[in-house]
Structure 1
Amino acid sequence: MSLPAPVHTPASAVFPSAGPSSAQLLDFVRNIASDADLVASLPLDPEGRTWVRLDGPGGSEAWLIGWPPGTGTGWHDHGGSRGAFATASGGLTEQSLAVRLPTEGWKTLELAEGVDRERQLRPGQGRAFGEHHVHQVLNESTREHAISVHAYYPPLPLMRRYSRTGAVLRLEQVEVPEEWQ
């Protein structure tokens, strides 16, 4: 007796409120990053980051961001949202932590050895991440702007900002959307 072939139903059909997956967000940001006209339309500032909010898929929040040489985000998380980003022009460096941090009840943590990760993202390259991702993104170029596309689901409820000295990570601030929109 043979069993029928399994039926694969997308999670969004079973759980419509689940929103787009990290993989779907990654497909979206890569697609937008390849839109040369849209990327070229972003005004660039030599002093600070610039951004334009975009409509993301399935109710997600998306941003086109310009990075002057030598700028970065600092260490942060996305308040429980999953996401993805892709480089459209220039190059970005992502430094991340391969550890799940508690979301509440702490101000200072000592990180174990071996949790640091670093990746270089050139035009067309991107990465997806889950709800507990802590990272910083940097344009380490001394001459060239970088432009990237980011998407988050659910839309960012908050961002926690951290400082880091060696292995010590310290929660510095919790920002809400009104502070960056």
Structure 2
Amino acid sequence: MTGPPTAAELLDFARRTAADRALVDSLPLDPEGRTWVRLDGPGGSEAWLIGWPPGTGTGWHDHAESFGAFVTARGSLTEHALSVRLPAGGWKTLELAEGLDRSRRLGPGDGRAFGRDHLHEVLNPSPDTHAVSVHAYYPPLPLIRRFSRTGPVLRLEQVERPEDWQ
């Protein structure tokens, strides 16, 4: 590979990694909290193998200026996304227009790539089954912005930096 990876290459990496049964089975699972292991992604990307206990999720967040991909390796995940580009900064609360919500279910082997400015939440809706997924981002995540949402109102709650999750 020459140059940075494309979103399609990140999705291909996530698919191949999610199909690696030995790797997926090696992830320690916690009954209450998400677990994760950092992986070597292609072309200097940041990649993670993540375990999702039943009923857990990420909450609404974005990945700053990174694009990426994720694939479900085991179980099922639901992604709720907003099809909107948020202002870069200088705001704490936004009122969203109607028709921006998108939802999809991702079973084993299902995945998606996403561009910069992607805002979503990912959930394991199962009441009794862990899910495992593979995620890859480029450039490596400079920060994650976390949001709360009440109906059409989106509020910036927190900004996390790599030292908060590594």
Q: Is the TM value for this pair above 0.5? A: yes
The residue aligned with 2:165 is 180
Match of 2:93 among 108, 112, 119: 108
Residue 54 of structure 2 aligns to a residue whose secondary structure is coil
Q: TM-score, normalised by structure 2?
A: 0.99
1:84 lines up with 2:69 in the alignment: yes
Residue 23 of structure 1 aligns to a residue whose secondary structure is helix
Match of 1:124 among 97, 102, 109: 109
The structure whose Rg is larger is 1
* Greater share of strand: 2
RMSD between aligned residues: 0.8
- The residue type equivalent to 2:63 in the other structure is H
1:79: Cα distance to partner?
Answer: 1.2
Unaligned runs of 5+ in 1: 1-11
The residue aligned with 2:127 is 142
Residue 160 of structure 1 aligns to a residue whose secondary structure is strand
Match of 2:38 among 53, 65, 70: 53
1:123: Cα distance to partner?
Answer: 0.2
The residue aligned with 1:38 is 23
Match of 1:71 among 56, 80, 85: 56
Deviations 1:17-64 (A, max 9, x none): xx1111110000000000000000000000100000000000000000
The residue aligned with 1:158 is 143
Whole-angstrom distance in 2 between the partners of 1:44 and 1:56: 22
Alignment of 1:11-30 (within 5 A): 16=3, 19-30=4-15
Unaligned runs of 5+ in 2: none
Identity %: 73
Q: TM-score, normalised by structure 1?
A: 0.90
Whole-angstrom distance in 2 between the partners of 1:76 and 1:103: 14
Match of 2:79 among 70, 76, 94: 94
Number of residue pairs the alignment of both structures matches:
166
Deviations 1:90-119 (A, max 9, x none): 000000000111120110000000000000
- Structure 1 segments of 4+ aligned residues over 2 angstroms from their partners: none
